[in-house]
Structure 1
Amino acid sequence: MDITRLSPDDAAGCADAVALLTATHAVDCPAALLSTPFGYAANLRYGWDGDPGRSYLARDESGTLVGLLQFFAPTYDNTHLAWIEVEVHPDHRGRGIGSELVRYGEQVARELGRTSIGIGAWDLPKADAFIKRHGFEQKAIEVNRRQDIATLDWATVQKLYDEAVLASAEYELVKLTGELPDDMLEGMIAVTASINDAPKDDLDIEDDVFTAERLRAYEESRRGHNQTVYRVIARHRTTGELAGHSLVTVERERPHIAEQADTAVSRDHRGHRLGALVKTGMLLWLREAEPAVTQLDTWNAESNSHMIAINEQLNYFIVARTKDYQKSL
C-alpha cells in the first residue's frame, strides 16, 4: 500500500478523498455533513483558524484509493497531542488497511514529538472494537445535532427570544458580519476563551489559547473557505463589556448549509439567559439575511446538558454520535 500526503493544490486528490468519504459515510453515517472538494482543499490550506491538519491517501498496488488518514497536530496549544481519523473504503475493509493507517498516524505523531494521540469515530460497535484493539480508551462522546430551518416553529423562537430579552435587560445585541472591529478584538478574546468551560470529560487536553492573531486567522480561514461569518454578540449596556456570542457560518458554495461555529457566555455574565438570547437572535437574523438556509448543524459534548437543553428547545434533532478515544505514545 502506498501512503502519500495530500496537497491542497491537488484538486484530483481532494476530489478522490471526498469520493471515499462519501462511500464510507453512506455505510457508517448517511446523514453526516461532508465537505465538497473545494471545502476539503480549503481545510488543508487554512484549517479551522490558520492551523491546518494533514491528509494522507492510501492506494493499493493498482492505484485504487482504499483508505484515508486525516491527521491534526495543534500548534496554538495542546502541543503534546495529535488527533487522527481513519477511513477505509467499504469495498476494501477487513484487509488490515485501517490498522496500517493507525500505525502510520502514530509514527507521524512520534516524529513530531507528540506524547498523546486521539482518534474519533462514529458510535458503531465495529469501530469501537477496532479502536480498542489498538490500545485506545474511550474518553468522551460528542453529538451532532441539526436544525431543520424549513420546519422551524418561528413563534417558539420569537417567544424564547422575547423571554431572554426580558431576563437580560442589562445587555444589548450587536450584529456583525465578516471581520471584528479592532476595538472589539480584545474583548472577544475573553468571550471566545469561555468555550474552555465546556465539558472535556476524560480527555487529556489543555485549554485552548486564544489571541488576537488567532481570531484574525479564523476570519482569514473563513474567507478561504468562501463562507460568510455571522456574529451576534451580547454587550453590557453600562460597562460596554462583551459578555457572550453566537457565531454561525454560511457556505457560499452551498448557501442552504449553515454551521454553528461557537456559542459561549463569559463566566462573569452567566445567569441572564444570554445563551438563549444570542442563539435565538441569530436565528431571527439569519431568517432575514440568509433565506436560502435550510439546515444548521452544531456539535456538543454529550455531557454539555446546559447547551443541549437550549438546542432542544429550538427543535434540534440528533444526526449522529461520535466517540473520542486517546492513548499515550
Structure 2
Amino acid sequence: MEITKLSPDDEAGCIDAVGIKNAVLAQDCPEMVPSTPRGFANMLRYGWDLEPGHAFLARDADGTAVGVLNVDVNLYDNTNQVWIDVDVHPDHHGRGIGSALVERAEAFTRELGRDTIGYGCLDLPADDEFARAHGFEQKAIEVNRRQDLSTLDWDVVQRMYDEAVAASTGYELTMLTGALPGDLLEPMVELTGSINDAPKDDLDLEDDVFSPERLRAYEEAQAKSDHTIYRVIAREKATGALAGHTVIAVERERPHLGEQHDTAVARAHRGHRLGALVKSAMLLWLREAEPQLARVDTWNAESNNHMIGINEKLNYQIVTRTLAYQKTI
C-alpha cells in the first residue's frame, strides 16, 4: 500500500477520494450530504477561508484507492493543531489502512511543527473504538440537523419573524449577498467574534481570531468555491452598532443545497430575539431569492440549547451525531 499527498489538480485522484468517502456514507449514514469531486478539489484549493485543506490517498499495489485522509490546518488561530478525517472503503476494512492513515497524519502534524490532533467521526461504536484505540479522547458531541424547506410551515416562519420584530423595535435589518461593503468590514469583525460564545464543551481550543483580512479571505474562498453567500445583519437604530447576523451559503453546483455558516448575537444586544429575527428573515428572503433551495444543513454542539431551540422551531431535524476527539502527540 502507498499513501501519497493529493493535489486538487489531480482530477482522477479527487474522484477516487470522493468515491471512498461516499461509499462510507452510503454504509454508515446515507442521509448525510455526499461529496462531489469539484467540491472536494475546491476545499483543497481554498478551504473555508483560504486555509487550504490537505488530503492523502491510500492505494493498493494494483492502484486501487482504498482510503483517504483529510487534514485541516488552522492558520489564523489554534496554530498548534490539525483536524483530521479518516475514511476507509467498506470493502477494505480490517487491513490496517485506517491505522496507517492515522500514522501519516501524526507524521504530517510533526512536519508542521504542531502537537495536537483533532479527530471527528460518526457516533458509531466501531468509530469510537477506532478513535480510542489510537489514543484519542472524546471532547465534544456535535449534531447535524437539516431543514427541509418543502415541509416547512411558512406560517410558523412568518409568525416567528413578526414576534421577533415586535421584540426588537430598536433594531433594523440589512440583507447582503456576496462581499461586505467596506464600511461594514471592521464592525463585522467584532460581531463575527461573538461566535466564540458558542459552547466548546471539553475541546482544547483557543477562541477564533477574526480580522478584516480573514473575512475577505472567507468571502474569496466561498466565491471561488461557487457558493453564494447570503447575510442578514441586525443593526441597532440608535447607535448603528451591528448586533447580530446569520449567514447561509448556497451551492451553485447543487443549488438545491444550502449550509448554515454562522449565526451570532453580540452580548450587549441579547434578549431582543435577534437570533430568531435574523434566521426567520433569512428564510423569507431565500424563499424569493433561491426558489430551488430545498435543504439547509446546520451543525451545532449538542449542548447549544438556545440555538437548537430556534432551529427546531424552524423544522430542523437531526441527521446524525458526530463525536469530536483530541490527542497530543
Cα deviations by residue, 1:147-188 (Å, 9 ceiling, x for unpaired): 000110000000001000011110000000011000000110
Q: Which amino acid aligns with 2:292?
A: A
Cα deviations by residue, 1:24-74 (Å, 9 ceiling, x for unpaired): 110111111122111111110000001111000000111100000001121
Provide the rounded CA distance (Å) in 1 between the counterparts of 2:33 and 2:291.
Answer: 20
Q: Secondary structure at the match of 1:189?
A: helix
Counterpart of 1:112 in structure 2 is 112
**Which 5+ residue runs of structure 2 have no aligned equivalent?**
none
Q: Which amino acid aligns with 2:297?
A: D
Cα deviations by residue, 1:209-242 (Å, 9 ceiling, x for unpaired): 0000000001101111111110000001111110
Contact 2:78/2:206, CA 8 A, preserved across alignment: yes
Provide the rounded CA distance (Å) in 1 between the counterparts of 2:130 and 2:189.
Answer: 39
Moved more, 87-96 or 220-229: 220-229
Q: Tell me how many residue pairs correspond in the alignment.
A: 329
Counterpart of 2:314 in structure 1 is 314
State how 1:224-243 maps to structure 2 within 5 Å: 224-243=224-243
Counterpart of 1:186 in structure 2 is 186
Provide the rounded CA distance (Å) in 2 between the counterparts of 1:33 and 1:262.
Answer: 19
What's the TM-score, normalizing by structure 2?
0.99
Counterpart of 1:163 in structure 2 is 163
Q: Secondary structure at the match of 1:161?
A: helix
Provide the rounded CA distance (Å) in 1 between the counterparts of 2:182 and 2:94.
Answer: 54
Provide the rounded CA distance (Å) in 2 between the counterparts of 1:226 and 1:69.
Answer: 24
Q: Secondary structure at the match of 2:184?
A: helix
Counterpart of 2:262 in structure 1 is 262
State how 1:282-297 maps to structure 2 within 5 Å: 282-297=282-297
Provide the rounded CA distance (Å) in 1 between the counterparts of 2:264 and 2:125.
Answer: 33
Counterpart of 1:211 in structure 2 is 211
Q: Which amino acid aligns with 2:304?
A: N
Aligned-CA RMSD value: 0.7
What's the TM-score, normalizing by structure 1?
0.99
Q: Secondary structure at the match of 1:292?
A: coil
Provide the rounded CA distance (Å) in 2 between the counterparts of 1:266 and 1:160.
Answer: 20
Counterpart of 1:76 in structure 2 is 76
Task: Determine whether 1:133 maps to 2:149.
Answer: no
Q: Which amino acid aligns with 2:246?
A: S
Q: Secondary structure at the match of 2:229?
A: strand
Segments of 4+ moved more than 4 angstroms: none
Contact 2:21/2:35, CA 8 A, preserved across alignment: no
Counterpart of 1:328 in structure 2 is 328
Counterpart of 1:94 in structure 2 is 94
Contact 2:230/2:249, CA 8 A, preserved across alignment: yes
**Which 5+ residue runs of structure 1 have no aligned equivalent?**
none
Provide the rounded CA distance (Å) in 1 between the counterparts of 2:177 and 2:34.
Answer: 24
Cα deviations by residue, 1:119-146 (Å, 9 ceiling, x for unpaired): 0000000000111011111000000000
State how 1:5-154 maps to structure 2 within 5 Å: 5-154=5-154
How high is the sequence identity, in percent, across the aligned residues?
64
Cα deviations by residue, 1:234-292 (Å, 9 ceiling, x for unpaired): 00111111011010011111110011010011111111100000000000000000000
Q: Secondary structure at the match of 1:175?
A: strand
Shift of 1:301: 0.4
